[in-house]
């Protein structure tokens, strides 16, 4: 419990630091938000009035405090280019990106665990060699290129889905998930390869240990030993890896969303970057960082539940 | 004595060799001018005069792949050099001297570490604007934390070792100890992280150019070609497949090479 509290405080401190760094980065850039909103044609008086209204004349720390206070209340400011609250812009996009990540995560878990164990079980065999070689190649394929290949093969040649035919989850959950399955394969593929590779190595090093021999001597079959005894221990490094991979998957999702024409967080982030719509960029980046940090925090907790031997200070 | 290298290393060496050869070739010679548009050859298929076909403006894809690989390689090299240079400086000084500055730097580092590097790159791009050199700076900054962290832990491990103590007794100054005594001993670790960083940089650059906020025309870029090719995916799949293959060749070769080196 003490550990939990300590971790939680650490999480909040990091969250605060992240938000401050992002705020700082966007505060020091040249270019005045008020001018950006009104255009260069505006009179100096109008710009000055807007600066006053937006609180831009306050000192940096005061502005930061105000921003954090708004942020906690769920008010992320007003978009420069659309003139609507940022919160409204991102709140219904968040489930899209989260679904993409959750589906990819499920794929990773359900594909790479059997694959990794199969490899380790038949190590040195033809199947093992094939999977290892395929892994090596798949790891080198960028997610957006596998996305393009998936569009070509499953979409255009096999007609399993309509490329660009995204269906909003507000309209039809079933078809939404059906469409999201394909981008999530693209996001998951490189991570499946890495996880399989890691799990194979981890299972192989476990099988040399005494408890495995004991399990065999008690009359267990190979399958039972691998899935009931070895897997639990072999998963520990994999859990760590998956925690770190999640951060990468957020980035992967942003790109893959573009490949499949999905209006998620990535889409708004990109449009806002090209429009120099800083409040939106700022809000999305902080949101993603929060997401990643929170997930890492949860992974740490899960980690300790999976393996009671681990106690960190 | 020259020992026989493992299979991964050899395949990696061959693939990387092919990539480097093609990139060098692309700098001095391309079969067609990569910018010349030929109205008659719009989206032409694979032929002897156009080994990989033509794009929607009738430009030769093979020439553009050569040029694009060059851009990608240069950006990746620039990014990794930038990240390594500042990462080593920060890591070396904080690791060696420790204290409050170290504490602050490492906290900041931990925070930056929470961001996916491409996201950090995106944030800096939105601040700096796009283009080849800004991509190098943006991704370079995003890569500093990982290098700084590795170098720092190496310095902490080494700073109280016997050879450092002896150097200190012999009257060597801190700067001399840092750069001439400890730094050479971190090369093994540094080289392997540079190689991993290089691959990440290639992928990040391609991703950013694909999104349209990385390298800008007239610089040819593999990522950008892929995003343009997507529109014509059904009618001319080769337009997307060839630049993609070039990208895979580069990443695969380098990752095999670095894994092969580690296993030796």
The domain tally of chain B equals 1
Determine the structural domain holding residue B108 and report its residue range. Answer: 69-246
Are the C-beta atoms of B188 and B44 separated by less than 8 Å? Answer: no
User: A42: left (phi > 0), else alpha (psi -120 to 50), else beta?
Assistant: beta
Write down the pLDDT at residue A183.
92
Distance CA B131, CA A292 (A): 28
**Alpha-helical regions (H) of B29-60:** none
- Does residue B213 belong to any structural domain of this protein? yes
The pLDDT, as a whole number, for residue B212 is 82
Residue B172, classed as helix, strand or coil, is: coil
The pLDDT of residue A107 is above 90: yes
Instruction: List residues of chain B with CB under 8 Å from any CB of chain A.
Output: 107-108, 110-112, 114-119, 122-127, 203, 206-207, 210-213, 223, 226-227, 229-230, 233-234, 237, 240-241, 244, 247-248, 251-252, 255-256
pLDDT band at A77 (very low <50, low <70, confident <90, very high): confident
> Tell me: the pLDDT tens digits for B82-133?
999 999 999 888 888 888 888 888 777 777 776 777 777 877 887 787 778 8
Q: For A148, which of B116, B118, B230 is closest by C-beta distance?
A: B230
Q: How confident is the model at residue A37 (pLDDT cuts 50, 70, 90)?
A: low
φ, ψ of residue A271 to 5 degrees: the values are -60, -40
Searching chain B, which residue's CA lies closest to the CA of residue A257?
Answer: B211
Cβ pair A152:B240 closer than 8 A = yes
Q: Is residue B215 part of a domain?
A: yes
CB contact under 8 A, B116 and A17: no
Q: Is residue B239 part of a domain?
A: yes
d(CA B19, CA B112): 32
pLDDT in tens, B48-57: 666 667 777 7
Per-residue pLDDT tens for A184-214? 999 999 999 999 999 999 988 888 888 888 8
Q: What is the 3-state secondary structure (H, E, C) of A287-307?
A: HHHHHHHHHHHHHHHHHHHHC
State the DSSP string of A71-125. HHTT---B-TTT-SBHHHHHHTTHHHHHHHHHHHHHHHHHHHHHHHHHHHHTTTS
Tally A–B CB contacts below 8 A.
Answer: 117
Q: Give the CATH number for residue B159.
A: 1.10.3720.10
Let me know: does A198 contact A119? Beta carbons within 8 Å.
no
Is there a domain that residue B33 lies in? Answer: no
Contact A142 B206 (CB under 8 A): yes
Q: Is A253 on the interface with B (CB under 8 A)?
A: no
Contact, A43 vs A58, CB < 8 A? no
Interface touch A29/B207, C-beta < 8 Å: no
B179 in a structural domain: yes
In a domain, B26, yes or no: no
Residue A313 — pLDDT band, cuts 50, 70, 90? very low
pTM of the model: 0.83
Residue B233 in any domain: the answer is yes
Selecting from B111, B207, B256 the residue whose C-beta is nearest the C-beta of A144 gives: B207
Class level of CATH domain A87-271: mainly alpha
B chain contacts of residue A296, beta-carbon cutoff 8 Å = 114
- Arithmetic mean of pLDDT, A238-242: 84
- The one-digit pLDDT tens for each residue of chain B (264 residues) are 455 668 888 888 899 899 888 888 887 777 777 777 766 666 666 666 666 677 777 677 788 888 888 888 999 999 999 999 999 999 888 888 888 888 888 777 777 776 777 777 877 887 787 778 888 988 888 888 888 888 888 888 888 888 888 888 888 888 888 888 888 888 888 888 888 888 888 988 888 888 888 788 777 888 888 888 888 887 778 788 888 899 999 999 988 888 888 776
């Amino acid at each position: 419990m003490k550990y939990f509290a300590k971790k939680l405080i650490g999480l909040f401190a990091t969250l605060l630091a992240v938000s401050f760094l992002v705020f700082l980065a966007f505060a020091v850039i040249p270019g005045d938000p008020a001018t950006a909103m009104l255009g260069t044609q505006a009179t100096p008086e109008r710009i000055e009035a807007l600066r006053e209204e937006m609180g831009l004349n306050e000192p940096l720390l005061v502005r930061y405090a105000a921003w954090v206070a708004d942020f906690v209340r769920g008010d992320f400011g007003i978009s420069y280019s659309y003139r609507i609250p940022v919160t409204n812009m991102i709140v219904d996009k968040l489930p899209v990106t989260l679904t993409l990540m959750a589906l990819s995560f499920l794929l990773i878990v359900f594909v790479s665990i059997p694959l990794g164990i199969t490899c380790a079980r038949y190590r040195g065999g033809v199947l093992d060699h094939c999977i290892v070689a395929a892994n090596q190649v798949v790891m080198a394929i960028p997610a957006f290129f596998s996305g393009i290949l998936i569009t070509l093969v499953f979409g255009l040649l096999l007609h399993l889905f309509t490329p660009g035919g995204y269906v909003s989850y507000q309209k039809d959950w079933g078809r939404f998930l059906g469409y999201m399955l394909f981008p999530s394969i693209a996001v998951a593929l490189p991570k499946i390869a890495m996880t399989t590779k890691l799990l194979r190595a981890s299972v192989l090093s476990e099988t040399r240990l005494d408890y495995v021999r004991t399990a065999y001597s008690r009359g267990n079959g190979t399958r039972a030993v691998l899935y009931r005894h070895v897997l639990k221990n072999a998963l520990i490094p994999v859990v760590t890896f998956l925690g770190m991979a999640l951060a990468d998957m957020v980035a992967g999702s942003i790109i893959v969303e573009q490949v499949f024409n999905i209006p998620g967080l990535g889409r708004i982030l990109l449009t806002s970057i090209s429009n120099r719509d800083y409040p939106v960029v700022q809000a999305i980046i902080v949101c993603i960082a929060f997401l990643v940090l929170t997930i890492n925090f949860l992974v740490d907790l899960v980690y300790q539940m999976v393996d009671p031997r681990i106690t960190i200070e | 004595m020259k020992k026989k290298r493992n299979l991964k290393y050899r395949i990696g060496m061959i693939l990387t060799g092919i990539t480097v050869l093609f990139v060098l070739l692309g700098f001095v010679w391309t079969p067609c001018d990569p910018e010349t548009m030929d109205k008659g050859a719009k989206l032409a298929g694979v032929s002897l005069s156009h080994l990989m076909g033509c794009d929607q403006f009738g430009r030769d894809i093979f020439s553009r792949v050569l040029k694009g690989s060059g851009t990608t390689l240069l950006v990746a090299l620039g990014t990794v050099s930038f990240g390594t240079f500042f990462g080593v400086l920060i890591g070396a000084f904080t690791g060696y001297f420790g204290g409050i500055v170290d504490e602050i730097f490492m906290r900041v580092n931990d925070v930056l570490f929470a961001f996916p590097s491409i996201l950090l790159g995106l944030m800096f791009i939105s601040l700096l604007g796009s283009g080849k050199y800004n991509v190098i700076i943006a991704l370079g900054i995003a890569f500093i934390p990982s290098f700084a962290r590795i170098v720092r832990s190496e310095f902490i491990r080494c700073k109280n070792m016997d050879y450092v103590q002896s150097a200190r007794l012999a009257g060597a100054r801190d700067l001399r100890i840092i750069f001439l005594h400890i730094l050479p001993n971190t090369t093994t670790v540094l080289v392997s992280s540079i190689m991993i960083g290089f691959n990440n940089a290639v992928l990040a650059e391609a991703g950013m150019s694909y999104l349209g906020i990385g390298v800008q025309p007239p610089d040819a870029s593999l990522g950008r070609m892929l995003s343009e090719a997507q529109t014509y995916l059904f009618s001319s799949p080769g337009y997307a497949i060839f630049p993609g293959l070039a990208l895979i060749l580069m990443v695969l070769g380098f990752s095999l090479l670095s894994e092969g080196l580690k296993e030796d």
